[in-house]
Amino acid sequence: MKGKIVFEEHMAILETTAETKDFAGESGRFDEFTEEILDLDDMRLAAMDRTGIELAILSLNAPAVQSILDTDQAIEIARKANDTIADAVKRHPSRYAGLAALPMQDPQAASEELKRCVKELGFKGALVNGFTQRGEEDSAIYYDIDEYRDFWATVSDLDVPFYLHPRMGLPSQSKNLEDHPWLRSSPWGFSVETATHALRLCGSGLFEDFNNLKIVIGHLGEFIPYNLWRMDARMRFSTRGYRGKKLLGDYFREHFYITTSGNFSDASFRCALETVGKDRICFCTDYPFERMDDAANWFDNTTLINDAERRQIGRENAIELFKLDME
């Protein structure tokens, strides 16, 4: 399919490249991987052309800003990354758009940077790499707490999507994975960490306060669609501390979009389609952590959807979600 739109597509600046080394894949690939994630011109555009991707909405790699302990430095790096994305959009306005990196160490600064990116740079929303560390290495701040209500008010006022992207949990806070560091990473921990954060948002009363929020998570829903029925069923018995007025499933289906990034499986896709429906799923690749070719070859050939549904998931849902000036 030609004309696909993708938006879990990562870039980096020199200050954040080293953080991706563990995810570069096979031994010896880091130099090639670094070139790919820094490149915003010929190499990336050639891959997009080859795989039928018309537009990529770029975002900063993980954990990047979210792992910077010093708030002033986090603000500086976020701004530099966003300016780098904006420069790429200026060079290739028909091929790129931007999602803002945000210094969530300071909710007010994050709000101001999001407003700058949307109103001045024309960005389409934000992508934040999970919880934020601040001041101390052993800190993990999640965005369901009251400290972030004014930030969410900004997101609501701007009416832009917020992509909650994975990062690894801290060793001190994941004792059940001790001596198994691979479990903290992308095979398992990414989804556990992100799904838990997403469910915290659902259970915090956030969507009662701001009923137009649109949250995006990747990898075909980070395990949530597979277990959503059971979670709702068990909520009949376990609601202590739950501040929502609806079932988790209601919030998830009303406020969340999920993408195909890095999960090119018919079995998972079938579950997502049956759980949230084709209106809430978007095609993405997770480049350069995944190959655009692998993502496109799977999506263009899966028999679970017809051509009209393929166009909807591969293009039209993103146009509506990000209010893109495209047909």
Active site residues: 286
Which parts of the chain are beta strand (E)?
Answer: 4-11, 53-60, 96-98, 126-128, 162-164, 215-217, 256-259, 281-282
Question: 165: closest CA among 138, 123, 126?
Answer: 126
Mark out the alpha helices in 28-70 (DSSP H runs).
30-38, 42-51
21 exposed, middle or buried (CB, 10 Å; 0-12, 13-18, 19+)? Answer: exposed
Both tokens of residue 310? 């393929």
Helix, strand or coil, per DSSP, at residue 243: coil
Going by C-alpha positions, the residue among 193, 239, 236, 238 that lies closest to residue 217 is: 193
8 A C-beta contact, residue 5 and residue 283: yes
DSSP letter (8 states) at residue 118: I
Task: Give CA separation, 296 vs 75, 95, 175, 242, in Å.
Answer: 35, 17, 37, 40
**Cα–Cα distances in angstroms (integers) from residue 216 to residues 164, 172, 296, in the given order:** 6, 27, 20
Q: Which two tokens stand for residue 2?
A: 């030609």
Q: What is the DSSP letter of 306?
A: -
**CA dist., res. 274 & res. 59, Å (int):** 29
Three-point CA angle 294, 298, 300, nearest 5°? 115
**Pairing state between β 126-128 and 162-164:** parallel
Maximum distance among all Cα pairs of the chain, rounded to whole angstroms = 55
